[in-house]
Each structure stands twice: as structure tokens, then as C-alpha cells.
Structure 1
Amino acid sequence: MTDQPKRILAIHAHPDDIELQYAGTLALLKDRGCEIVYCTMTAGDLGSMDLSQKEIAAVRRGEAEKSAQMLGAEFVCGEFGDLAIFNDDDSRRRVTEIIRKARPDIVITAPPLDYHCDHEATSVLVKDACFGATVPNYKTHQWDPAPYLDHLPHLYYVDPIEGTDYYGNPMPPQFVVDISEKMDLKLEMLACHASQREWLRAIHGMDEYLDSCKRWSATRGEENGFAYGEGFRQHKGHPFPHDNLLGELLNLK
């Protein structure tokens, strides 16, 4: 590898998704000198029983910014609406511009199959936009567009929630990162999203936001011989890179 810092684009659907699924790995990458762009597709504008969409979006955007600051990461919001992320041309061009501006060596995003439609739409949009970002004539219609990428970034998907498919069948990751030393920071970042805890308690009757995250991280870790872990799969379809740059940066065996 060269001495140039690697750039990581962490892009998932909602504020708190990154923390739940891979903040520990991002913290390890930060320690290794990587530059991180932290992007949520939405600002969580439907995540309240009491506040208006505009009001809760402002709250949740602020929570995401606070969390990103804990990694020294640049925060970006795609400004999609909750339950309104769709795989269409306008959306693909918007995500393409996000990727071009981030200039990533590695993109880490939502899994293709997950419980939430916004997660799945994010996954396919990011995959297709990574390719589109390298095509000079694929214009994004921005007033000040970023130049196209001269390479395809390495693309990775995080675990689906609870690591299962729609039928509860396990979906094992290709590799798991030991985040034991970063588990406390991961939980501190997740705790920034206080409004999401209130939303989950109101809409789903859940009040174990941090504990459930810790349990799942422990499950992935214990399967691989360490305390806490985060699972990943790499997109290796043509023409994406096949070497495991993420694993190389983290000295995975």
C-alpha cells in the first residue's frame, strides 16, 4: 500500500444504522490513518410520534453529526425521506455525486437483503452508483459536480439486522472484524441517537437499544473467538476489485 491515507465512505440508510452495524470497524480504520466520510441517506424525518418531519430531521441530523465527530469524520446527509428511498435514475445520480465527492477507496454500505426497504434500496443504489461514479458521461446535474472517479472503489456490505434472511435463516459473513477494543466507543456513538431510542420505545415497545447492539456484537465476536465483532461481505462481481483492501488495512488473516 502507498503512504496516502485511504478514504472510507460509510453510507447507510438512517441515522444510527452505521453505529449499530460498523462503527467499531470505522474506529479501527481511523486509528490506522484512514479518512472517513459518514453518510446517512435520510435524516430520519419519520422517527417521531410528536415532532414534525422537519423538527425530528433537525434533531436526528444533529445526533448523527455528533456521532461522526467522535471519529473525526465528515458528515453528509443524502436528504432522502424515510420510506422514500427508491432505485431510480434521479436517486442513482444523487448517490453517484455523494460518492464522487467522497473520493473513496472503500465504500461500506447496507446489505442487499435486510428487514427494511430503505436498507435494501440503499444497498442497490450504492452498488450501482459506485459503477456510475466512474463513467465520465454519467452526469449528476449538480450545480458544481465532482469529477468522475478513475477507479472502482472496493465495496463491502455489513450484516443484515440479526444476521438472518427474511425467514430467520442465518446469513454468515465472509469475515468478522474484532472490535473488542472499540466496543465502548461504538456504544458511546450509538448513545448519541437518543431520539431513536425514544422512537423505538414508542413504536416497537423496545427499550434496550444499547444492550441489543452489545448482544449482537458479542454474538458475532464469540463465533470467531473474540469478545465483540462486526461482520462483512465483499462485493466481488464484475468489474469490482477482488482483493480484500479492508482486511489488509485491518491486518486480518
Structure 2
Amino acid sequence: MTPGNAPAPPPRSTLVVTAHAGDFVWRAGGAVALAAARGEKVTLACLTFGERGESAAAWREGRTLEEIKAIRRDEAERAAAVLGAEVLFFDAGDYPLVPTAELTDRLVAVYRATRPDVVLTHPAEDPYNGDHPAAHRMALEARVLAQAVGYPGEGDVIGAPPVFLFEPHQPEMSGFRPEVLLDITEVWETKRAAMECLVAQRHLWSYYTDLAVRRGVQLRRNAGPNLGLAHTTKAEAFMRPFPQITKELA
């Protein structure tokens, strides 16, 4: 109990909306692990398993569609457990991921159930994978609808949680600028362990390790000389689609 015997406030909540089952690990595994380590509730909403577009090795092995979905589900569940998050699978079908009213309505229900303080999702552009912008649009639309008193569905309306857009695989081609650099050094080994759960995309392990190092270099360069950051600093990059609200410029 808090002073005065008032009930303790609920833990902060983070909602991550991704197109495919592995996206949350590569793009935001550090952010997820940091939030979970602080005792926050982290919910991962995976709209698809990435069974068609991001499971090439399994297809070459002759696996069936249902077998591949099961593989990707198992990998994502193990990765989420390593990071300390709960994962929800929508099984909406990828390549292409088609936005529908039903899918958006399910997302609205997740927003109202989890009441996020922070939302992480894809940026608006990705010329190499249309599923990512589709997930972005649905995540932002559901956020707005979840605030609307007149929108039907279960749960109470929410506020307007800040949104952070995580880095796409091809940032230069997707108009991505690293506006926010998050120091994930203390949870890097946790993120790496979660990455290694995703055997279907083993080829990405080294890429996202190298990216964490490069973003760590940028973080040190922009943090100033007095923070004592080590050369082993690792970081993730984000953009913000909405203004930051603050009473102090820092």
C-alpha cells in the first residue's frame, strides 16, 4: 500500500504492435527488456507469424504452412519469455497483411485492456515490406479509436499514449531518422538471447548486433563527455510521430 493506505498504482504498461512475430525482438527487444526489468507490464501484439514472407529457410526445408506457423509461434513465445513480456498472436496472415475493420477492432480491445503508457510500432514507410506500414497504420488508428467514447467495444476509453517508431531494416530507404537513442547496454545480453530464439531468421543475428553497436556509438557522441559511457554501449533508435510533451527542455 502507498502512504495513507491508498491502493498502489498499477505498473506502467508498454504495448508493442508488430507486423510479424519476430519484429519485436530485432527492433525493440532492448526497450522491452528494460521496461520488464523495471517491473512494467509489456504486451506484444503480433499481427502475423511472418509465416510466408519471413520464413524462407523453413519453406526450403519443405515445411507446411501450419508447421511454419507453429515454429514461428514457438520462437516468438520463447523470445518474449526471455525479454519478460506477454505475447498475443492475431494470426492475420502476412504477405500481404491486409488491414480490416475486424483486425483494427481487435487492436482497439488490446489498447483498452492494456491501457499503455507507451506504444512502440513500425514507422510509416518501408518500400521492401508492405506489412510493416500496414501494421503502423492499424496501430495508430486503433490508438485513436480506443480514445473515442463513441467507439463500440469492451473496455474504458484510454488517454493518448506517446508513440515511438522503431528502426526498420532498411532505414535509409524508409525515411528513418534516429531521433531518440535508447541505451540498452544493461539488457543487451538479454536481447541477444532473445534474438537467438529466432532460429528461422538466424541471418539477422549479426546484423542487429552490429546495428546496436553503431547506435551505441551515436548515443555516446550525442550524450556529451561527462556521462562515462563505455565503448561497449549498445542502443536502439526510435522516431516520434507526435510532439513530445514537457515542462522542461532537456
Q: 1 CA distance for matches of 2:205 and 2:104?
A: 33
Q: 4+ runs of 1 displaced by more than 3 Å?
A: none
Q: 2 CA distance for matches of 1:18 and 1:67?
A: 9
Question: Do structure 1's residue 176 and structure 2's residue 181 form an aligned pair?
Answer: yes
Alignment-derived partner of residue 189 in structure 1: 194
Q: 2 CA distance for matches of 1:181 and 1:38?
A: 21
- What root-mean-square deviation, in Å, do the aligned CA atoms of Structure 1 and Structure 2 show? 2.0
Aligned length: 222
TM score, norm. by length of structure 2: 0.81
Whether contact under 8 Å (2:176, 2:239) holds in the other structure is no
- Greater gyration radius: 2
Q: 2 CA distance for matches of 1:149 and 1:8?
A: 17
Q: 2 CA distance for matches of 1:191 and 1:139?
A: 41
Question: Which runs of 5 or more residues in structure 1 are unaligned?
Answer: 141-145, 198-207, 245-252
TM score, norm. by length of structure 1: 0.80
* Counterparts in 2 of 1:82 and 1:121: CA distance versus 1, 3 Å: same
Alignment-derived partner of residue 33 in structure 2: 27
Pairwise CA distance, 1:132: 0.6
Alignment-derived partner of residue 136 in structure 1: 149
Pairwise CA distance, 1:176: 0.3
Q: 2 CA distance for matches of 1:61 and 1:234?
A: 29
Question: Aligned to 1:59, what secondary structure does the other structure show?
Answer: helix
Question: Which runs of 5 or more residues in structure 2 are unaligned?
Answer: 1-7, 221-228
**One of 138, 142, 147 as aligned partner of 1:125:** 138
Q: 2 CA distance for matches of 1:228 and 1:43?
A: 28
**Residues 129-164 of structure 1: CA distance to partner in whole angstroms, max 9, x if unpaired?**
000112233235xxxxx3132312221111122422
Which deviates more, 72-81 or 146-155? 146-155
Q: 1 CA distance for matches of 2:74 and 2:176?
A: 33
Question: Do structure 1's residue 155 and structure 2's residue 163 form an aligned pair?
Answer: yes
**One of 53, 56, 64 as aligned partner of 2:65:** 53
Alignment-derived partner of residue 173 in structure 2: 165
Whether contact under 8 Å (1:37, 1:76) holds in the other structure is yes
Q: 2 CA distance for matches of 1:39 and 1:150?
A: 17
Give 1:133's aligned amino acid.
Answer: A
Pairwise CA distance, 1:185: 1.2
